[in-house]
Structure 1
Amino acid sequence: MKRLHVEQFLPISLEKAWDFFSSPKNLNEITPPEMTFKILYDIPEKMYEGLMISYKVSPMLNIPLDWVTEITHVKENEFFVDEQRLGPYNIWHHEHHFKAVEGGVLMTDILHYDIGKWVFGWIAGKLFVDAKVQGIFTYRKAVLEKLFPKV
């Protein structure tokens, strides 16, 4: 299993950060455009525990895949967790943490993922999956710096 730990400072209030990230409708805005992310069904303005989000995403070679995630835990203004229920990974467990700090919010993502224990999964991870996962967070960081610039 792979683990990715990413931190980013946002110069906004905890409430503003939570308001942005707790809205599933903002997922498309922070996902790289080449992934052609598309939510398939109507979703609420705010997430809640048990919310299932179904979407199509094309992470590799423009091949569309079905992906379903469930919001499994929510503690308002502190954290939420999404887990894949259907999709390309054996395991996808993504924790989003928010902490008020001087001048803004420290946002921490902890992602555990596994693409399989078979040889092809190991090779795919080394060749492109791990880089693609890292690229998603690199893209998101750049987008968030534009949406919430330091003043």
Structure 2
Amino acid sequence: MKHHLKYEQYINASMDEVWAFFSDAKNLTVLTPDHMKMKVRTNLPDTKLFEGMRIAYTVSPLFGIPVFWETEIVEVSNHSHFVDIQLKGPFKSWKHTHTFLRQGDGVLMVDEIEYELPFGVIGNLFHESLVLKNLEELFIYRKDICQKIFLK
């Protein structure tokens, strides 16, 4: 069963500032709560996103258990959007579209995620209590951290 999530956040900063921050892979750890213990495993001499870029990392989203995850950037349109998919990791499938829209003096950032859990019906039994709860917590954290980073 495919699940769809959509999160929107207004950021009071210029498109150049917002794009520069979100299109830099080194900021993945900044955007993840400390208790998830995210560590980028790929040596990234150039951290600016590009199509075909692969990023491997470990993250501990549940019960402190580290999980290996590898994503690939499959589409990048400068100052507009980028898309990453999971190559290896905890989901059966994962596609995350990050869209950036000029709005007034700032940027509306839209995250759309389409994913499937492993283990079919059994995996879906834990969707709301574990997976959805964790994703909601992650995006609340990102909203808070972005308000601090882009404070004007």
The TM-score, its normalising length taken from structure 1, stands at 0.95
Residue 27 of structure 2 corresponds to which residue in structure 1?
A: 26
1:42 CA drift (Å): 1.3
What secondary structure is seen at the aligned counterpart in 2 of 1:146?
A: helix
Residue 71 of structure 1 corresponds to which residue in structure 2?
A: 73
- Partner amino acid for 1:28? T
1:130 CA drift (Å): 1.0
1:13 CA drift (Å): 0.6
What secondary structure is seen at the aligned counterpart in 2 of 1:29?
A: coil
Indicate whether 1:97 and 2:99 are aligned. yes
Gaps of 5+ in 1: none
- Partner amino acid for 2:4? R
Gaps of 5+ in 2: none
1:99 CA drift (Å): 1.1
Pick which of 16-25 and 99-108 moved more. 99-108
Q: Deviations over 1:37-71 (max 9, x none)?
A: 00012112201000000001111111111100000
1:117 CA drift (Å): 5.5
The TM-score, its normalising length taken from structure 2, stands at 0.95
- Partner amino acid for 2:17? K
- Partner amino acid for 2:147? E
Residue 12 of structure 1 corresponds to which residue in structure 2?
A: 13
CA distance in 2, matches of 1:7, 1:148: 16
CA distance in 2, matches of 1:15, 1:6: 21
Q: How does 1:1-150 map to 2 (within 5 A)?
A: 1-43=2-44, 44-116=46-118, 118-149=120-151
CA distance in 2, matches of 1:64, 1:77: 33
CA distance in 2, matches of 1:31, 1:72: 22
Q: Deviations over 1:52-101 (max 9, x none)?
A: 00001111111111100000000000000011100000111000001111
- Partner amino acid for 2:150? F
Q: Is the 8 A contact 2:41 2:56 kept in 1?
A: yes
